[in-house]
Amino acid sequence: MNLTKTNKVYIIAIATILLVILDQVVKMLVHHNMEVGDVTQVFSWFNLCYVENPGFAFGMQLGGNAGKIILSLFRLVMIGALIYGIGHLLKRGNVPTGIYVGAVLILAGAIGNMVDSMFYGLLLDTQSGGFLMGEVIDMIHLPLFKWENCPSFLSFLVGHDGYFFGAIFNCADAYISVAVVYLLLFQYKFFK
């Protein structure tokens, strides 16, 4: 089936909106059903942990209020660049569907975390940062295995609890991470 440019625009917009809604629904379910700091073990390798992250992906921070503003502005610029890039791809035509899938996942992830930053500081009872100062809600923790003697150059892969990939993240972070890995592994030829 050959989709028209207009149909692709609608599909991309609807997919992005649905992914952002899913991200926000999961975050609100966690916020309204758990206390900050709560941990619920779902499986031995999957925990729900309610964390309010003042920084960006996997708890990294830029530092203070100025860092939050810089991060928010960066997110806005990236969202604009992604929308422009998707528009450029649509004009170009003959683009593999996988490129659009990756772009939509990255765009939805960026928008999902931007919503947190923009509004959670104003709307959530656990935060008081104000506009663009909200903290991102993270909840997914995958303690896959203990890595006792991790080489120092790979220490970023181990959380404070000693587990490989000990970071706590959210759906938006997962969208972005999965998309980047997918694009690098399966769509690298397009970027040549």
Of 23, 38, 116, 173, the active-site residue reads 173
CA atoms within 13 A on the CB side of 3: 15
Of 23, 116, 138, 161, the active-site residue reads 138
Question: What is the distance of C-alpha 37 from the center of its chain?
Answer: 20
| Nearest alpha carbon to residue 26 among 104, 149, 108, 102 | 108
Please, are residues 121 and 128 in contact by the beta-carbon 8 Å criterion? Answer: yes
| Nearest alpha carbon to residue 82 among 165, 175, 188 | 175
> Any residues with CB less than 8 A from the CB of 76 and at least 6 apart, and which?
114
Respond yes or no: is residue 138 known to be catalytic. yes
Respond yes or no: is residue 38 known to be catalytic. no
Residues annotated as catalytic are 138, 173
